[in-house]
Amino acid sequence: MRKITLSLFALLVTIVAYCGAPQAFNYQAVATGPTGAPVKLKSVALRLSILDGSPTGSVSYQERQTATTDNSGLVNLQIGTGTVISGTFSSIAWSKGAFYLKTEIDTTGGTSYITVGTVQFLSVPYAQYADKSNIASADFPDGLMSVTPIRLDGNFNYVVPTGKTLYVTQLTHNGSATCADYGAVVNGAYLASGTTSTTTGAVGSSTPGSTSNKVTGNYPITIPEGNAITSTSCGSSLVGFTVAKGYSWVLFDLNVGNYTVPAGKVLVIKNFIGSNTNGWNNYYTANGYTTMFSNNKDISFVDAGQTVSASGLSGSLLMMGYLKDK
């Protein structure tokens, strides 16, 4: 039987769902044959694809599911729990806009799929996004769901895993009586207060109770996937967490050029980092206007098409932030 349809598809994928935001949602459909009669008690395989932006958009996530139809031809699945073909369900950026579900079926349970329909999601995934957005913010735009705590001590070299973002929430002295220096480096630039020396990670003093025992910065300091954070100072203590990447993160060295915000995006600047020998005077320029930036408290927004630059640099100055849709 090659002509198979799935009826009630658009209705049931919209309204049959969990409350809250699990990492899956219910899906029900009725498989019918060419005469409209239900395909009963038959093992079937489905390939489910979540498409970005349009019915022919790129595949954000794809999985395979197998199920047995009941006496009415009904199949019940949980999208997000199948065998993953591509993508990560928890990383789908539902906030971007429209998403579509493409369903393909093989009524023999194999992989010779027939396309049976593509429909737009209406409410289910956006309920998931709304739940996530309750705990997301400008400081934690990726949200705080399924975080993995990170604690690094002494000398370390940590590379942020693919598909993850590292949020550094604290960088301090670890209390060692023999290791006075502490701090860390990202791509050759120092996570630093104004007391950064020219040696890797050497920051401040180990004096008990001293305010210099904590590196100043606009916490959380965010390191994108694939980048390394390193310390060669045995007095370092780093605390933070990783979480699934939900945004396009920017880590750009303004010493090697200017950065232009892509069309349709807004750049949210969280931090600038660099050693105190790089000549930076805490000012940057965007769209021809020069503004002072304090790593202790500021967040800046730069519109699409505008260019960010900094002058007078003699070393790396990393601009750290993320891109969001306008």
- Pick 65 or 92 by higher pLDDT: 65
- Burial of 200 by CB count in 10 Å (0-12 exposed, 13-18 middle, 19+ buried)? middle
Residues 6+ apart with CB under 8 A from 53: 96, 97, 98, 99, 100
- Pick 150 or 16 by higher pLDDT: 150
Q: DSSP states of 181-198 as a string?
A: -B-EEETTEEE--TT--S
Rounded-to-integer distance, Cα 238 and Cα 236, Å: 7
pLDDT at residue 122, rounded to an integer: 65
Ordered structural domains, the chain, with CATH: 5-133 (2.60.40.10), 148-244 (2.60.120), 248-325 (2.60.120)
Give the tens place of pLDDT for each residue, 25-77.
Answer: 778 777 766 666 777 888 989 999 999 888 899 999 999 999 998 888 888 88
Q: How many CB atoms lie within 10 A of CB 178?
A: 7
Is the CB of residue 260 less than 8 Å from the CB of residue 199? Answer: no
User: Average per-residue pLDDT in the chain?
Assistant: 77
pLDDT at residue 8, rounded to an integer: 37
Rounded-to-integer distance, Cα 112 and Cα 105, Å: 8
- Which three-class secondary structure state does DSSP give residue 212? helix
Distances (CA, A) of 24 to 20, 27, 80, 88, 94: 11, 10, 4, 11, 13
Percent of the chain with pLDDT over 70: 74
Confidence of residue 16 (pLDDT cuts 50, 70, 90): very low
**What is the four-CA torsion angle of 113, 117, 120, 122, rounded to 10 degrees?**
-100
C-alpha count within 13 angstroms, C-beta hemisphere, residue 93: 15
Give the strand order in the sheet containing 99-106. Answer: 83-86, 58-68, 43-52, 99-106, 114-120
Tokens of 20: 């809250």
pLDDT at residue 1, rounded to an integer: 41
Confidence of residue 297 (pLDDT cuts 50, 70, 90): low
Distances (CA, A) of 42 to 30, 67, 115: 12, 8, 18
For the cut 90, the answer to whether the pLDDT of residue 279 exceeds it is no
Is the CB of residue 204 less than 8 Å from the CB of residue 215? Answer: yes
Give the tens place of pLDDT for each residue, 237-267.
Answer: 889 999 988 888 999 989 899 999 999 999 9
Tokens of 189: 């630039």
Give the tens place of pLDDT for each residue, 94-138.
Answer: 766 788 889 888 888 899 988 888 887 765 454 455 544 445 577
Global confidence as pTM: 0.57
- Pick 314 or 160 by higher pLDDT: 160
For the cut 80, the answer to whether the pLDDT of residue 272 exceeds it is yes
Segment 150-160 mean pLDDT: 91
Rounded-to-integer distance, Cα 325 and Cα 305, Å: 13
